[in-house]
Structure 1
Amino acid sequence: MNYLVAVLSNRFQVEAAYTALEKENLPKEQISILGQGYQSADDFGLIQPNKQAAKQSKRFFYWVIAFGFVAGYAFNLLTGIEIFSWAGSIGNHIIGGILGAVSGALGAILLGGAVGWTVDSGDALPYRNRLNAGKYLIAFKGNDAQIREATRVLRQFEPENIQSYKEPVSV
């Protein structure tokens, strides 16, 4: 299945677009309106950037801690820096490893969150921002021929943005 999403500036436009799609005999169960008084972004299934950022942080978190420990241990081993005189040689290497692991964890939280916010959210964030600004989205889910027909119909309403998406094939 494919998706078509159009951004319309007001409720009258989105209702007129919905009616026009119905008149073209496109299945109304495949048409969704998002905005105030209709479905929310969460109801429709637009991903939340905060959740994506948290998921990305978790992905980085586990392997970066191990890498940070090894890097901190190796750095202390190579430089011979004495962190605490009472810890001895091996103890200082382990403390260096722990500090490296903590640095890796902090980097995972910061970098993983930033990557999740900017990369994995796709177009969901701009669509959420438009909904928050009082705009409306009309989304249509269908095959290629239906998407072409819906695109032709929706262009008449001069949407701010119109974009089609192909559903990823899961293996």
Structure 2
Amino acid sequence: MPQNLVMTFSDRAQAQAAYEKLKSSDLALGQIDLLGTGYRTLQETNLYDPNQVAWQQATRMLYWVVPFGFVAGFSFNEITHLAILERGSALANHIIGGFFGAIASAMGGFTFGGGGQFLIDREKMPFHKRLKAGKYLLVAQGTELLIRQASRMLQGFPADSLQFYEDVDR
């Protein structure tokens, strides 16, 4: 499975120097791109944003988890006869129990579906936001071994961030 290396640079000259170093190397990388002002755009590449994929997975999970949570909460309240609202009818209490179940399943589905990374790691800004902020992205794609060799070559460059991830079928 192809691997990706994405380095973010604030300085155009540093990004260009890193790009030239990779281009002039004898590594058989599948693709090397420099994205940013004056270079290629995100739409011109086949690079996908791992944050975007995680968000899509989280929302897909919510579509099927929330209805099950509602049914589970409704059923639990019906079985236990918990009175959430003292003056409410049994049906109203069951429906409120269903809503609580749906909320709980939404929280779990969001967290375990991949959406929790947005809350925990604020440094992983989506690629398009980095480009809008005037940063430059150096992208290299290839096998895991080639990506490791490329990252060793680029260790001396002052990058803002460095990400590795596997390319998945979308």
Do they fold alike, i.e. is TM over 0.5?
yes
Q: Which residue of 2 aligns with 1:97?
A: 94
Q: Deviations over 1:57-82 (max 9, x none)?
A: 32431210111111221232689x66
Q: Which residue of 2 aligns with 1:30?
A: 31
Q: Deviations over 1:114-163 (max 9, x none)?
A: 66532379979714254443222212111233223311332232222334
Give the CA deviation at 1:113: 4.4
What is the distance in 1 between the residues matched to 2:122 and 2:46? 13
How many residue pairs are counted as aligned between the two chains? 160
What is the distance in 1 between the residues matched to 2:71 and 2:139? 44
Q: Which residue of 1 aligns with 2:41?
A: 39
Give matches, 1:1-171, under 5 Å: 1-27=2-28, 30-36=31-37, 37-40=39-42, 44-46=47-49, 47-48=51-52, 50-76=55-81, 83-84=88-89, 92=90, 94-109=91-106, 112-113=109-110, 116-119=114-117, 126-128=124-126, 130-166=130-166
Identity within the alignment, %: 27
Gaps of at least 5 residues in structure 2 are none
> SS where residue 134 of structure 1 aligns?
coil
What is the distance in 1 between the residues matched to 2:79 and 2:36? 55
> SS where residue 162 of structure 1 aligns?
strand
Gaps of at least 5 residues in structure 1 are 85-91
Q: Which residue of 2 aligns with 1:88?
A: none
> SS where residue 155 of structure 1 aligns?
coil
Per the normalisation by structure 1, the TM-score is 0.68
Distance 1:71 1:53, change over 3 A: same
Give the CA deviation at 1:23: 0.5
The structure where helix makes up a greater share of residues is 1
Distance 1:3 1:123, change over 3 A: farther
